Amino acid sequence: MEIIGFIFICIGILFNFFGCIGLTRLPDVYNRLQSATKCVTLGTCSILIGVFFHFGFTEAGIKAIIAIPLLFFSATVAAHALVKGAYIFGVKLGDKSVKDDYKDVTKS
Amino acid sequence: MRYIALFILAFIFWLLLTFNIDISNIIVGIVASLITAFVFGKYFIKDVIPFLQPQRYFWLIIYLFIFTWECIKANFYVAYLVLHPAMPIKPGIVKVKMGLKTNIAKTMLANSITMTPGTITVDIINDEIYVHWIYVSSEDPEEYSQKISGRFEKYIKKIFE
Amino acid sequence: MIDYLNILLYVQIALCVFCLYRIIRGPSIADRMVGIDIFGIIVVGICAILSITTKRAFILDIGIAWIILSFIGTLTLAKYLSGKKLNE
């Protein structure tokens, strides 16, 4: 059981690493948020699942399971708020962008 | 009615979080849940009857499996984009129509879109979602609507409406 | 097992450097806020691994509290970005 938990933790840290590379490499705010939110959230969920496998159905294991939906909803809502805030603040889309349907809504 | 539902939810959450069944612990939990229910009850979901229908939970479990699979695929896709030396991205904001009515269903669809490959919800206005997409692969609205929200919409309709 | 977990803990702590790079270097305010948001989630991962290496369950409580606090902080910053008053 501990071995399975260890493997889950390794996968989680690998995904966290990818997310952090995306945070430094990608060109503009929206793309950075994409990579960072998805990879880091799933990576941390995977770490928490690993903690659950390590402890089993004890106090700590149940707490790790509770933390997963909490983390999931808070991360998605925070990402949504940040994107909208950045757009209203006036951060431009990057140079490579091809389409922008949201422009008409914010003007009126 | 919704005050009672919130009270039960808060009490279950308390029991899971503290994880011991003493009489003193249960009394403290009941008091804390009562306070929570009285203060925040008016912000809770209006109609709690659909919570009691068992077939919704069945669809919820199937949806969770599909969603987890999509989520993992999304992560490998983003990891590929990040590690690729040239970074083949083509970002843009697109408008997607949806056929959902209730607020909770719209919220769940927006959350699902945020966690799937290369898409993140920017705003919801009436029944249109504005989505930031990391690789705009087609110009046809029908096609990308199907690609972005078509997979989840029918399940969410069965679960939350 | 614990030794390997300690190494993983150091890797996870090292990931904070990427976020700090983005916070210090970021060209606009929004970039810095993305860095802060991701920093909060990574700290939750650190808490989860620490709870195994030290064999103490209460560190997970700290993690749960950290999730909620970082969520509220990010929402406040996002509201500031979109130019609204905080009580709207």
Among the partner-chain residues B19, B81, B91, the one whose CB lies closest to the CB of A94 is B91
A105: which chain B residues are within 8 Å (Cβ-Cβ)?
Answer: 123, 125, 130
- Spatial strand order in the sheet of B128-133: A99-100, B92-97, B128-133, B119-125
Give the count of Cβ contacts less than 8 A between chain A and B. Answer: 115
Contact yes or no for A13/C28 (Cβ under 8 A): no
| In the predicted structure, residue A75 carries a pLDDT above the cut 90 | no
Contact yes or no for B115/B72 (Cβ under 8 A): no
Q: Where are the domains of chain B?
A: 2-43, 60-160
A39: which chain B residues are within 8 Å (Cβ-Cβ)?
Answer: 75, 78-79, 82
pLDDT for the residue numbered A37: 82
pLDDT for the residue numbered B131: 83
| In the predicted structure, residue A64 carries a pLDDT above the cut 90 | no
Q: How confident is the model at residue A106 (pLDDT cuts 50, 70, 90)?
A: low
pLDDT tens digits, one per residue of B132-155? 887 777 777 777 777 777 777 788
Give the count of Cβ contacts less than 8 A between chain A and C. Answer: 147
Q: In 10 A of CB A7, how many CB atoms?
A: 13
| In the predicted structure, residue A22 carries a pLDDT above the cut 80 | yes
pLDDT for the residue numbered C1: 76
Domain of residue A17 covers 2-107
Greatest alpha-carbon pair distance for chain B in Å reads: 63
Give the position of tokens 């969410």.
B156
A26: which chain B residues are within 8 Å (Cβ-Cβ)?
Answer: 82, 87, 89
- Assess B72–A contact: CB distance below 8 Å, yes or no: yes
- Assess C32–A contact: CB distance below 8 Å, yes or no: no
Phi, psi angle pair for B25, to nearest 5°? -65, -40
B82: which chain A residues are within 8 Å (Cβ-Cβ)?
Answer: 18, 21-22, 25-26, 35, 39
Residue A104: exposed, middle, or buried by beta-carbon count in 10 A (0-12, 13-18, 19+)?
Answer: exposed
Contact yes or no for A59/C57 (Cβ under 8 A): yes
ipTM above 0.90?
Answer: no
- Which is more confident, C84 or C28? C28
Q: Round to whole Å and give the CA distance between B116 and B17.
A: 30
Q: Round to whole Å and give the CA distance between C35 and C22.
A: 6
pLDDT tens digits, one per residue of A33-51? 888 888 888 889 999 999 8
Contact yes or no for A78/A43 (Cβ under 8 A): no
Among the partner-chain residues A62, A73, A96, the one whose CB lies closest to the CB of B111 is A73
| In the predicted structure, residue A80 carries a pLDDT above the cut 90 | no
- Assess B21–A contact: CB distance below 8 Å, yes or no: no
Q: Round to whole Å and give the CA distance between C30 and A31.
A: 12
Contact yes or no for A45/A71 (Cβ under 8 A): yes
| In the predicted structure, residue B86 carries a pLDDT above the cut 70 | yes
Residue B23 to residues B7, B30, B34, B39, B116, Cα–Cα distance (Å): 18, 11, 17, 25, 44
pLDDT tens digits, one per residue of B25-84? 899 999 999 999 989 888 877 777 777 778 888 888 888 888 888 888 878 888 888 888
**To the nearest whole number, what is the mean pLDDT of chain C?**
86
How much of chain C, in percent, has pLDDT values that exceed 90?
7
Number of domains in chain A: 1
pLDDT for the residue numbered B31: 93
| In the predicted structure, residue C72 carries a pLDDT above the cut 80 | yes
- Which is more confident, B137 or A5? A5
| In the predicted structure, residue C28 carries a pLDDT above the cut 70 | yes
Q: Where are the domains of chain C?
A: 2-81
- Which is more confident, B19 or C38? C38
Strands B128-133 and A99-100: unpaired
**CB spacing of C75 vs A75 below 8 angstroms:** no
Give which of B149, B151, B133, B154 is closest to B66, Cα–Cα.
B151
**To the nearest whole number, what is the mean pLDDT of chain A?**
83
Strands B119-125 and B128-133: antiparallel
Give which of B30, A47, A28, B120 is closest to C15, Cα–Cα.
A47
